[in-house]
A = this chain, B = another copy of it.
């Protein structure tokens, strides 16, 4: 009785907190985002976070939970589709299609749910974030699907020793996380000259689709290297 009315009653404050937290965590990082900034942006009282979620860390957990569960389900389905196709046709799965099954949903997801774009930035940040809190929570959520990716890649590249495969996957994650993060902070940074590294200052193909294509080409080649 209490729970029912509660769920029906609470209009959006929990949602608004999640949205604001997602955006700020992705943009500023977990440690650099204060609860006051979140509640200010969400236009709710400061104490609302601790009331609805318990703590700042639990809020981060909830932010991940909301998006990562459906996202991982899509990844799982695509990865298993790759495996089944390979078994049906009696060939090992392709490295690129395996990696794409893991990476592309993040992109597609980006344009599906409104505001989910911020989340994929958060994921990119979470992969490489030096902070332990973020990594710990994120890894816990992604571990099973990561295992499936690893297993499928083992079939795709049977000649590669598992240790090497492990590190090559890490290389790929690093490249992916760094790139997403650059894109995330780069939108406003382009004007501030953050991309000075590029000699002649022109970055044309910065859209998500071509980025993913470039990234996949890069890490697939690295993965298939002798």
Q: Contact at A175–B171, with CB atoms within 8 Å?
A: yes
A82 to B167: give the CA distance in the assembly, Å: 28
A197 to B148: give the CA distance in the assembly, Å: 10
The secondary structure that dominates the A interface is helix
Chain A 132-152: CB-based contact to B (< 8 A → 1; otherwise 0) = 000000010001001100110
Chain A 173-206: CB-based contact to B (< 8 A → 1; otherwise 0) = 1111111011001000000000011111011110
A185 to B134: give the CA distance in the assembly, Å: 14
Q: Contact at A174–B170, with CB atoms within 8 Å?
A: no
A30 to B217: give the CA distance in the assembly, Å: 34
A6 within 8 A of B: no
Residues of B within 8 A of A174 (CB): 128, 174-179
Q: Which residues in chain A, 50-87, are within 8 Å of chain B measured between CB atoms?
A: none
Residues of B within 8 A of A151 (CB): 199
Chain A 207-226: CB-based contact to B (< 8 A → 1; otherwise 0) = 00001001101111111111
Q: Contact at B218–A168, with CB atoms within 8 Å?
A: yes
Q: Which residue of B lies closest to A149 (CB)?
A: B197
Q: How many copies does the complex hold?
A: 2
Q: A171-B178, A178-B170 are in contact. Are A163 and B203 (CB under 8 A)?
A: yes
The smallest C-beta distance from A108 to any residue of chain B, in angstroms, reads 20
A172 within 8 A of B: yes
A9 to B215: give the CA distance in the assembly, Å: 54
Q: Which chain A residues have a beta carbon within 8 Å of chain B's beta carbons? A: 29, 31-32, 125, 127-131, 139, 143, 146-147, 150-151, 162-164, 166-179, 181-182, 185, 196-200, 202-205, 211, 214-215, 217-226
Cβ-closest 9 pairs across A and B: A174-B178, A221-B225, A171-B175, A218-B222, A222-B222, A174-B175, A175-B175, A221-B221, A174-B174
With A143-B197, A151-B199 known, 15 other A-B pairs at CB within 8 A are A128-B128, A146-B197, A147-B199, A150-B197, A162-B198, A163-B203, A163-B205, A166-B197, A167-B214, A167-B218, A168-B214, A171-B215, A171-B219, A174-B178, A221-B224
